[in-house]
Structure 1
Amino acid sequence: MQKAVSIIHKGLELRGMEHMPEGEKLPAVILFHGFTGTKLEPHRLFLKISRELEAKGIASFRFDFLGSGESDGNFEDMTVSGELEEAESIFNYVKSHPQVDEDKIIILGLSMGGLIASLLAGKLSTEIEKLILMAPAGTIGNSIEPMINSVPFIASHDAYDHGGNLVGKAFLEDVKNLEVWSQSAKYKGKVLLIHGTKDEAVPFEVSNLYIENSYKAQASLLPIEGGDHTFNAYYWEKAVIDAILEFAIK
């Protein structure tokens, strides 16, 4: 069953959806969306993943980060560090849920949500059963400044206009200080990486960097041949969902 849920984080409301099969002590997956994304993601990808997980007896939770989707806050106040704190609040909510087995929680992230998931798994370590990273933006610190320099600066908000989403200067400073590989490497569980080979937003090579610098033999990588950043084709989407289900169940 799908229903709207919300939690309070630092006085602001994070709004989300839970998908709950019948039963007690259920395994659960938490889905973290990407930069400028929402709890739906393109072509309703996160909703489709959640529905398929529910059909297999696995609960799932997908929230909008603050400043995104239907949650409180403004996008220009968003930082990776801030979203990491929000992700931990979401995790604690799920862990305390009366129908969830706290020892069987998987976290999944797409793009910058994948970066958040990798950092959270490193922080929480053994509290995370498995980790799924979809086109994780582990090198965002290298790519965000050139992107921002190509868009207008809105002086009244001290922010950059990225397609109608205002990106604050605090975001730029925050990503420069991220220790992605060393933090991610603290997680020692099983990792599944999924990445389109023709991804123009986050190069396919970034998933290989995660394996080389953080995960080594504990990770497997599924290339989606010809796939773009958010797997915008039926067969790409199907391959992604099938892989997630297989990894979550086994």
Structure 2
Amino acid sequence: MAWNITDRITDVASDKIADGIVSKYQGKVISSYYASLPFSEVPVSFEANDRTVYGTLCLPTEMKTDVPAVVMLHGTGSARDEAGDGFKYCAPLLASCGIASLRIDLIGCGESKVDYQYYNYTTATEDAVAAKDYLKGLKEIDGNRIGVMGWSQGGTDALLAAAADKEFKSVCLWAGALDMQMMYTPEMRAEAKKNGFAVMDLGWRSPLNLGWKWIEEVEGTDMRAVVKKVSAPIFAINGENDDVVDPASGNEIARIASNSLSTYIVIPGADHTFGVFTDPDFNA
């Protein structure tokens, strides 16, 4: 039987889980709550192809063996802790449900020593699979129960990883994107084709060098076909007011997914970041 990450969260309806995501991001739970959760964290690093990947391992302290785990993939230009520390807060909540996690910095982000120009679908998949393999080597982790989750483009990467490696037994998407071509203009495409990269200014961080290989892979990848290749159940979560990723994409992903356990939720009133930047009471 396929393993679903939500199986570890007993007696809680899926809509309540979704509501919980929103409430955590809207400051309903203060930092002291997270400090009281039974978890421990440690920075880690491991190799993926020819580079070092840096991340944070979060383990439930009340379980010593056979712990299920999830690889966490951040969105465009972010880092392992994610927007407003979203993944940093999520990891202890997962640990409190008995789920370990490994959140990583993809190429060009966080502690990565590689320029963002070299980030693409191929490298993201390599990093995710390497993270899974790292988890499998830990004595605490049940190597047969490792899932992958991602936010925004991290969701795209999660789908790519799960399609490429069947050892991922569950996929969770937060505003996961099926089409990344909205990330660049025709002018940026021409610049990248000429120079190998185009400068991308997201407005909220220093500019990034968007690589030509990434553009080629975006344009050459049928993400709907990728979804169909995923054998694991997919849980897609979208915000009703997301103006970056079409909220209907979660429905589309669940509809075409191969695994019949796949499902989706649309959170009323939530945006692309599930309120992390818009609620005045939020305390990062």
Q: Same fold (TM over 0.5)?
A: yes
Q: How does 1:218-229 map to 2 (within 5 A)?
A: 218-229=261-272
Alpha-carbon distance, 1:99 to partner: 0.9
Alpha-carbon distance, 1:222 to partner: 1.1
Alpha-carbon distance, 1:233 to partner: 4.1
Q: How does 1:202-213 map to 2 (within 5 A)?
A: 202-213=245-256
1:57 match: secondary structure:
coil
1:185 match: secondary structure:
helix
Instruction: Give the partner amino acid of 1:161.
Output: V
1:88 match: secondary structure:
helix
- The yes-or-no answer on 1:17 pairing with 2:56 is yes
1:15 match: secondary structure:
strand
Q: Give the one of 155, 158, 183 matched to 1:144.
A: 183
Alpha-carbon distance, 1:151 to partner: 9.6
User: What does residue 167 of structure 1 align with?
Assistant: 210
TM-score (norm 1): 0.84
Instruction: Give the partner amino acid of 1:227.
Output: A
The answer on whether the counterparts of 1:42 and 1:232 sit within 8 Å (CA) in structure 2 is no
Alpha-carbon distance, 1:152 to partner: 10
User: What does residue 233 of structure 2 align with?
Assistant: 190
Q: How does 1:1-250 map to 2 (within 5 A)?
A: 1-22=40-61, 23-125=64-166, 127-140=167-180, 142-146=181-185, 149=187, 153=191, 158-163=196-201, 164-215=207-258, 217-233=260-276
Aligned mates of 1:170, 1:11 — CA distance in 2: 17
Instruction: Give the partner amino acid of 1:6.
Output: S
**After TM superposition, which residue ranges in structure 1, 4 or more long, deviate above 3 angstroms?**
148-158, 233-236
More displaced stretch, 184-193 vs 212-221: 212-221
The answer on whether the counterparts of 1:135 and 1:193 sit within 8 Å (CA) in structure 2 is yes
Higher helix share: 1
State which structure, 1 or 2, has the greater radius of gyration over its C-alpha atoms.
2
Structure 2 unaligned blocks of 5 or more: 1-39, 202-206, 280-284
The answer on whether the counterparts of 1:43 and 1:232 sit within 8 Å (CA) in structure 2 is no
The answer on whether the counterparts of 1:151 and 1:161 sit within 8 Å (CA) in structure 2 is no
Aligned mates of 1:66, 1:160 — CA distance in 2: 16
1:129 match: secondary structure:
strand
Aligned mates of 1:162, 1:104 — CA distance in 2: 37
RMSD of aligned residue pairs (Cα, Å): 2.4
Alpha-carbon distance, 1:70 to partner: 0.8
TM-score (norm 2): 0.75
The structure, 1 or 2, with the larger RCO (C-alpha pairs under 8 Å, 6+ apart) is 2
